[in-house]
Structure 1
Amino acid sequence: MGELALSGVTVVDLTQIVSGAVTSMMLADFGAEVIKVEPVGGETYRHAGYELHGPGGSTNLNILRFSRGKKSVEIDLKTERGKELLTGLVAQADVLVENFRPGVLARLGFSWDRLHEINSRLVYTSISGFGHDDVLPSPYRDRPAYAIIAEAMAGLTHLAGEADRPPAWMGFAMSDIFTGTCAFAGTLVALRDRDRTGQGTRVDLGMFDASVLMNDLPMAYQEHVGETMGRGQYALQSPWGPFATNDGYVIIAVLNAREWANLCAVIDRPDLATHPDLITGHQRSQAHEALVRPAVEAWTSARSRTEAVGALQSAGVPSAPVNTTADLASDPQVAARGMQQPTVTRELGEIRTVGNPIKVASSLVGQGPATLPGLGEHTDEVLRDRLGLDEQAIAGLREEKVVG
């Protein structure tokens, strides 16, 4: 395999948990050397979650998720010597990524001005709940936030669940992962801008902003129709959602008159295709519980997911089984698209991690096994090769507990 697109790019990774870790993992996937600087003892996700045990030791389920392709270094950034080590790494880096609360890195002595002074070509990417306030103002800057907080404030949680039930958590860190992906894109834009100007720049991501982007249609509906979309049935289309089968659920999504007519034919209800109250998607949405759902579910509930989807797709009706992760483990599409990445760990041996969805023909990632770093596995290597420290100096830092 030839060089990947980001080969030669060096990233100092100060991220923890999910959002920033997604960004730095994607940079590593495309060939960047990512130096993950962890506090002595390891970042939060080495301890929070489900503990796993293997022939090479113990690790945590969470740290396996977004750490592949990185090098792990333990440095106590609260010590003066630790700050000197970070300064040395920043001086050689192309990118610094962090997802501390706004102000934390500056209080450690690494404001944007200081970082730019250390390395004028550095791209500094930050991720937080509501963004920092150096690129644009952020009235909520100092509020603590997890993905679920950003999603609630951006109106996404209002949409999740059934109409007669409370709002629901969507079951995964959607805003974390989407924001991390946006930060990856923003970092690439900033690197391209640096190629043009010769100067590094700031990339500032807020999970709230990314969540607002995902809420685009309800916001457009509010702006132009003057109504607030709610939970449950989609206001603009029906059928558009889950229908029960005899072994689970299927999704049926009808967008136009042709698909509606095809569905009516499949379920043997041609009378519905010309029903005056069901001509448009908006009309069908209003009549969903009274007319559409009973007719469609009378047909789906007598069939399995496989039978229902087979018949619907043969008739040109967009549909899909509602899969579980057990279904995905053996899905041929997942395998063909490389969405389970072979990954080698020191503790567990070879495992599979979720693959990178970005497919670039000239820089196709996931063609061979990736690696996951053990805590501090590369401390000596990085301090020696990057900062020129000898074994005696490294041993002294370890004795002083500056490094792990």
Structure 2
Amino acid sequence: MGEPRSGGALSDLKIVDLTQMLAGPFATMMLADHGAEVIKIESIEGELARHAQPCRPEDIEHVFPGYFVSVNRNKRSVALNLKSDASCEIVRKLAANADVVVENFRSGVMDRLGLSFDVLREDNPKLVYASIRGFGDTVGGSSPLQDWPAFDVVAQAMGGMMGITGPEENMPTKVGPGVGDTIPAMHCAFGILAAVHHARKTGRGQYVDISMLDSVLAVCERIIHQYSIQGYVAGPEGNHHPVGTPFGLFPASDGWIAIGAHKDDFWRRLCKALDVPELADREGFVTTAQRAVNKKAVQDAISEVTKKYSKAELTKRLGAIVPYGPVLNSAEIMEHPHFRARNMIVPIDYPGIDKPIETVGVPVKLSETPGGIHRRAPRHGEHTAEVLRELGMDDGAIRDLAERGAIAMPPADWIQVAETKKASREALQKETAK
């Protein structure tokens, strides 16, 4: 894995990314994976995810935590002290030449920094400005909870997801991955592309306002129409479909499997493949409607069969016969031929350590302009000097900003800037001596 290749469907998109943790970085990662140039603005201390676990045991300086690595690939890092007017001016210059600015600060922070949408669009009318907040921004509707902080668990709880997840009626359960962050991230990436499309047609940018709660509710949409039409308040559904059956999780001798055989043709195939064809014609089991009425009995009957076999044995029996899949843990996923064939487990360089770290690949497969992971996640401030030079700053100005605490750079860049400054000074002295 070396420098990023040219191309990618979004290679003409330039993004200034002021986000941290998961929701914002995941959104900009999606765009970077498809070629967008993403300049990640971090604080002098580094964004919060840099201080998370885990790191490789050999990484005694805690430079490259997996949390950060996973969602910040294909980006460049610029470390700025946004309490400094000079650093805020750098952000304004970057935004003036960008297509998109993305942030996930608390409401009002960017206004206080003088970096609000209204300020930045003065220099760049085509700018698309996106924010992800727990309860959104006033642009999309002023929530009475707008100033509340929020994390994934809050979005899952209030957005309806926990209310329909869990083993039984009175036990709502958090979904394992941070979908309260990643679902808003996907909506944000979509909103950005829609707004950029409009800006390039009309010359007018706009604000993309993403609420974590709104995004979670959007993917739980059926709970709203169920209540509106039927007055039905959906609750935790366990590991089976609320109506169709068999549709859910069933035991194996060494774990669990998922089956979706609620349709009549799949039901008959399932019973035949499990060597219990008589189940297909049992009274109350024959049709989709009958099985819906007798869900528990159907589930128990199938479970009694499946628990006799291992996941591997059930895979041989049911794979390609009915909608089926074993419940896989991370170790099994790493070895599964599907994910390797689809390039969904990808090695990334780990600075200072020979053994790469593996992370999830790019799920959106484009035939003409495929995305990919072409650059590891950056070290803190790794590209500060590089980006500032692109803005037209010389090494003397960069060194001055570093000495004033307005920016941060890796030690190697400090050395390079110092040597360049020394060489320029010596050349000037020689010219003066002549």
TM-score (norm 2): 0.87
- What is the one-letter code of the residue matched to 2:306? T
1:225 aligned partner: 230
Q: Which runs of 5+ in 1 are unaligned?
A: none
For 2:235 and 2:140, the matched residues in 1 are separated by: 33
Q: How far is 1:116 from its partner?
A: 0.9
CA distance in 2, matches of 1:3, 1:56: 36
Q: 1:134 to 1:202 in 2, by over 3 A?
A: same
Note the C-alpha offset of 1:346. 2.2
Q: Does 1:45 align with 2:52?
A: no
2:39 equivalent to 1:35? yes
Query: How many angstroms apart in 2 are the aligned matches of 1:169 and 1:257?
Result: 33
Paired residue for 1:402? 406
Contact in 1 for aligned 2:100/2:127 (Cα 8 Å): yes
Give 1:384 shift: 1.3
For residue 201 of structure 1, report the CA deviation from its aligned partner.
Answer: 1.2
Corresponding residue for 1:140? 145
Matched, 1:321 2:326: yes
Change (3 A) 1:114 1:283: farther
Q: What is the deviation of 1:220?
A: 2.7
1:267 to partner: Cα distance: 3.5
1:64 aligns with 2:69: yes
Q: Do structure 1's residue 359 and structure 2's residue 365 form an aligned pair?
A: yes
Partner of 1:263: 270
Counterpart amino acid of 1:266? A
Which of 64, 83, 88 is residue 88 of structure 2 equivalent to? 83
Corresponding letter in the other structure for 2:291: R
User: Do 1:341 and 1:369's aligned partners in 2 also have CA atoms closer than 8 Å?
Assistant: no
Alignment partner of 2:319: what SS?
A: helix
Asked whether the equivalents of residues 152 and 181 of structure 2 are also in contact (C-alpha less than 8 Å), the reply is yes
Q: Is the 8 A contact 1:58 1:347 kept in 2?
A: no
CA distance in structure 1 between the aligned counterparts of 2:289 and 2:348, rounded to whole angstroms: 47
Contact 1:251 1:320 in 2 (8 A): yes
8 Å CA contact 2:74–2:374 kept in 1: the answer is no
For residues 189-215 of structure 1, the C-alpha deviation after alignment (integer angstroms, 9 at most, x for no partner) is 111101110121111111111111111
In the TM superposition, residue 283 of structure 1 has moved relative to its aligned partner by: 4.5
- Residue 180 of structure 1 aligns with an amino acid whose one-letter code is A
Q: Post-superposition shift, 1:299?
A: 0.8
Q: What displacement does 1:31 show?
A: 1.4
CA distance in 2, matches of 1:401, 1:58: 22
Cα drift, residue 99 of structure 1: 1.0
In 2, Cα distance between equivalents of 1:333 and 1:9? 32
Q: How far off is 1:224 after superposition?
A: 2.5
1:45 Cα offset (Å): 0.4
Pick from 173, 189, 200: which aligns with 2:205? 200
Q: Point out where structure 2 has 5 or more consecutive residues left out of the alignment.
A: 409-434
Work out which of the two has the higher radius of gyration on C-alpha atoms and give 1 or 2: 2
Q: In the alignment, is residue 253 of structure 1 matched against residue 260 of structure 2?
A: yes
Cα pair distance change 1:170/1:213, threshold 3 Å: same
Counterpart amino acid of residue 193 in structure 2: L
Question: Which letter maps to 1:189?
Answer: A
Q: Name which of 155, 165, 174 aligns with 1:169.
A: 174
Tell me if structure 2 keeps the 8 A contact 1:175–1:211: yes
State the Cα deviation string for residues 92-119 of structure 1 (Å, max 9, x = none): 1111011112221112112221111121
What is the match of residue 19 of structure 1? 23
Equivalent position to 2:97, from 92, 95, 101: 92
TM-score w.r.t. the length of structure 1 is: 0.93
SS of corresponding position for 2:110: helix
CA RMSD of aligned residues (A): 2.0
* Change beyond 3 A, Cα 1:141–1:280: farther
- What secondary structure is seen at the aligned counterpart in 2 of 1:200? coil
Q: Deviation at 1:317?
A: 1.8
Q: How many angstroms apart in 2 are the aligned matches of 1:279 and 1:194?
A: 56
CA spacing shift, 1:202–1:20, aligned 2, 3 Å: same
Counterpart residue type for residue 125 of structure 1: A
1:161: Cα distance to partner? 1.6
* Count of matched residue pairs: 400
The structure 2 residue matched to 1:300, chosen from 290, 296, 306, is 306
Partner Cα separation in structure 2 for residue 106 and residue 280 of structure 1: 61
SS in 1 for 2:115: coil
Secondary structure at the residue paired with 2:156?
helix
Partner of 2:414: none
1:144-163 → structure 2 map (5 Å cutoff): 144-163=149-168
Kindly tell me: are residues 283 and 136 of structure 1, through their superposed partners in 2, closer, same or farther at Cα, counting changes over 3 Å? farther
Q: In the alignment, residue 400 of structure 1 is paired with which amino acid?
A: R
Distance (Å, rounded) in 2 between the aligned partners of 1:267 and 1:403:
65
2:424 counterpart residue number: none
The Cα offsets for residues 52-98 of structure 1, whole Å up to 9 and x where unpaired, read as: 35479532221111010111111011121111111111111111011
User: Contact 2:41–2:77 (CA<8 Å) still a contact in 1?
Assistant: yes
Give how far 1:343 is off: 2.1
Counterpart position of 2:135: 130
Cα distance in 1, alignment partners of residues 102 and 350 from structure 2: 24
Q: Tell me, what secondary structure is at the counterpart of 2:248?
A: strand
**In 2, Cα distance between the equivalents of 1:343 and 1:109?**
37
Matching residue of 1:111: 116
The amino acid across from 2:12 in the alignment is G
For residues 249 and 373 of structure 1, do their structure 2 counterparts lie closer, same or farther at Cα, with a shift above 3 Å needed?
same
TM-aligned CA deviation for residue 165 of structure 1 = 5.7
Moved more, 261-270 or 31-40: 261-270
